[in-house]
Structure 1
Amino acid sequence: MAEFFVVQSFSPAKRGAMKPDIPVQATSIMHARRMAERLALQKPMVFATVTDADPEAGDFGEPRLICAYGDDLPEEVSNMQPV
C-alpha cells in the first residue's frame, strides 16, 4: 500500500457558499502541511489529508486529517481521524 497526500482548497462562490478548487497531490505529510498553510493565507478553507491505498487493487482506506484551516469546516472534515 502507498500513502496519498492531498490538499484541498476552496474558493468563495455565490451567496456565501464555497466551491472546491482542483485538489493537489503532495509528496509527504510535511509537504501537504506547508502547502495547506500557504493556501490558507489566500483561501477561506483548506484541508490536507492522507489516505492509504492500493490503486491497482482498488483498495482505498479512509482519509485521515493532516490539518485544516477555515471557519465552518464540513462535518466530514471535522470528524476525520487525525494523523
Structure 2
Amino acid sequence: MLTYFVVQSFNFTPKGAIAARAAVEVQDIEHALRLAEKLAECSAGVVAFSRTGDPSTGEFEDAIILYANGIVPALEAEMPVAC
C-alpha cells in the first residue's frame, strides 16, 4: 500500500468560471500543508489531500482532506477536513 499526497489549486478564468490548475504530488503531509498554505495566498482555492492504495490493483481508499481554503469545487460542504 502506498500513500500519495497531492495539492490541487483553482483559479478563475477570464469569464469568471473556476478552473483547476495542475495537481502537484508531494512527498509527505508537511510538504502538502506548506505548499497548500503558500498557494492559498494567490489562488481562488486550494485543497491538499492524501490517498492510500495499491497502484498495481487500482484499489484506493477514499481521499483524506488535509487542508482546504477558498473555492474548492471538488469538495462537498459536508466533507470533513483533517486540519
Q: TM-score, normalised by structure 2?
A: 0.85
- Judged with a 3 Å threshold, the aligned counterparts in structure 2 of structure 1 residues 28 and 36 are, in CA distance, closer, same or farther, namely same
C-alpha distance in 2 between matches for 1:47 and 1:7: 6
Give the equivalent residue in structure 2 for 1:74: 73
Question: Contact 1:64/1:80 (CA < 8 Å) preserved in 2?
Answer: no
C-alpha distance in 2 between matches for 1:47 and 1:60: 19
> What percentage of aligned pairs have identical amino acids?
34
Question: Contact 1:7/1:25 (CA < 8 Å) preserved in 2?
Answer: yes
Q: Which structure has the highest helix share of the two? A: 1
Which runs of at least 4 in structure 1 moved beyond 3 Å after TM superposition? 72-75, 77-83
- Stretches of structure 2 that go unaligned for 5 or more consecutive residues are none
Give the equivalent residue in structure 1 for 2:13: 13
- Stretches of structure 1 that go unaligned for 5 or more consecutive residues are none
By how many angstroms is 1:20 displaced? 0.3
- Judged with a 3 Å threshold, the aligned counterparts in structure 2 of structure 1 residues 26 and 43 are, in CA distance, closer, same or farther, namely same
Question: Contact 2:11/2:19 (CA < 8 Å) preserved in 1?
Answer: yes
Question: Contact 1:32/1:48 (CA < 8 Å) preserved in 2?
Answer: yes
- Judged with a 3 Å threshold, the aligned counterparts in structure 2 of structure 1 residues 41 and 15 are, in CA distance, closer, same or farther, namely same
- Judged with a 3 Å threshold, the aligned counterparts in structure 2 of structure 1 residues 7 and 42 are, in CA distance, closer, same or farther, namely same
C-alpha distance in 1 between matches for 2:44 and 2:57: 36
By how many angstroms is 1:77 displaced? 4.7
RMSD in angstroms over aligned alpha carbons?
1.7
